[in-house]
Structure 1
Amino acid sequence: MTRDSGEGTGALVVRSEGAEYVPLPQQGGGFRLLADSGATGGALGANRLTLGEGADGAGPHYHARSSELFYVLDGTVRFSLDGEMETVGPGALVVVPPRMPHAFGATPGSTAELLVVLTPGVDRFGYFRALGRIQHDLESLDSLRSEQDRYDVHFLDPSAWQSERTI
C-alpha cells in the first residue's frame, strides 16, 4: 500500500510485497523498486538490490546531479570509488557524491543485498526495467546510452573495472 497526497508531500509507505520486482539472471538477483522521485516530491529514489554470487551491480558510471547512498544489508560488496577499491560487508554505508566515478558488485563467492538511495531523486524505474531487459538479452546497452541525461546515469569506460573484477 502506498499513502501519498499525490503531491509527493505525504507519507509514502511501500511494503515489500507491493513493490515491483525486476529479476536479473544471476542466481536470484534483482531490483525491488521501492520509491521513484515522483512519489517523494523529488526528494529521493530508492531500491533494494539483490546480487547473485560474484555478480556486478553496476559498471563504471557517475551521476551529475545526485548523490548515491548504498547500505549493505547482507553479503560483501566491492566498490570502485574514483578508482580506489573498497570492500565492505553488512552494516556498511557508502555515499558517493555527484560526479564521482563508481562501480560495484558482489565479491567473488558472495551474494549481496543493498538498499540504494539516490538523492535528489530522479525517476529511474524505467532505467531499472531496461537493465532487466538488457541482462536478459532482450535489449542492448545501446538503448540506454541515449537516455543517460534523463536517468542521470553517465556510463564510463569499463576496462579498469572489468580487469579488477577478474583478479
Structure 2
Amino acid sequence: MSNIIDFGSLQLRFLQSKDDTAGSVDIFEMTLQPNARMPIPHYHDRWDETIYGLSGVSTWTIDGAQTDLGPGESVFIKRGVVHGFTNRSAGPATCLCILSPGVLGPQYFREMAALLSAGTPPDPAKMKETMLRHGLVPAPPA
C-alpha cells in the first residue's frame, strides 16, 4: 500500500492501515515542509502514537514540553496527552508515525485534505467535527 495524501505543506504516505492489519496498527510516513505545522493541538483517547525521525528536524510539543526530533530519534505520545508539531527548519523533515491500535486509517486525512484544499478558508466547525468523528479531540486554547 502506497497511498500519498497531500496537504500542500504536509504529505502522508500510508504504509499500513487499520484495514491492512485488522486494526492492529496504522503506519505512515509524514513529510513536513519548512514552516508546516499541525494547526490544532489535539489528543486522542483511542490510540497511542510513536514518532520516529527519518530526516530533517521537526519540533513536537507534547504535554506542553517541546522536543526536537531528528533522524534516529523517537517520541512516544500516550493517548490523552495533548500534542502538536511544526517544522521550523529550512528543509523538509520526515518521520515515521505508528498509531496503536490502528483505529484511525487514511480516511481522516483524506477528509481533512479535502477541507483544506476547497479553495476557500477552511471552516473551523467542519474541521472540528471531522476531528471528533475520527477520535481526535482539539485541545482548548492555552
User: Which TM-score tier does this pair reach, normalised by the shorter chain?
Assistant: 0.7 to 0.9
Point out 4+ residue stretches in structure 1 off by more than 4 angstroms. none
Q: Secondary structure at the match of 1:70?
A: strand
Q: What is the match of residue 90 of structure 1?
A: 71
Ranges in structure 2 where 5+ consecutive residues have no aligned partner: none
Q: Deviations over 1:124-167 (max 9, x none)?
A: 3111112222332455343242244442211113x55xxxxxxx
Q: Secondary structure at the match of 2:24?
A: coil
**Partner Cα distance (1:128, 1:25) in 2:** 13
Which protein is bigger by CA-based radius of gyration?
Answer: 1
Instruction: Tell me if structure 2 keeps the 8 A contact 1:134–1:141.
Output: no
Instruction: Tell me if structure 1 keeps the 8 A contact 2:115–2:127.
Output: no
Q: 1:38 aligns with which of 1, 16, 19?
A: 19
Q: Secondary structure at the match of 2:20?
A: helix
Ranges in structure 1 where 5+ consecutive residues have no aligned partner: 1-13, 161-167
Q: Secondary structure at the match of 1:71?
A: strand
Q: What is the match of residue 84 of structure 2?
A: 103
**Partner Cα distance (1:78, 1:42) in 2:** 28
Q: What is the match of residue 156 of structure 1?
A: 139
Relative contact order, higher structure (CA 8 A, sep 6+) = 2
RMSD after superposition:
1.9
Residue 81 in structure 1 maps to residue 51 in structure 2: no
**Partner Cα distance (2:27, 2:79) in 1:** 16
User: Which structure's residues are more often helix, by fraction?
Assistant: 1
Look up the equivalent residue of 1:81 and give its one-letter code.
I
Matched positions, count = 140
**Partner Cα distance (1:149, 1:39) in 2:** 23
Instruction: Tell me if structure 2 keeps the 8 A contact 1:46–1:115.
Output: yes
Taking structure 1 as the reference length, the TM-score comes to 0.75
Look up the equivalent residue of 2:30 and give its one-letter code.
L
Taking structure 2 as the reference length, the TM-score comes to 0.86
> What percent identity do the matched residue pairs reach?
25
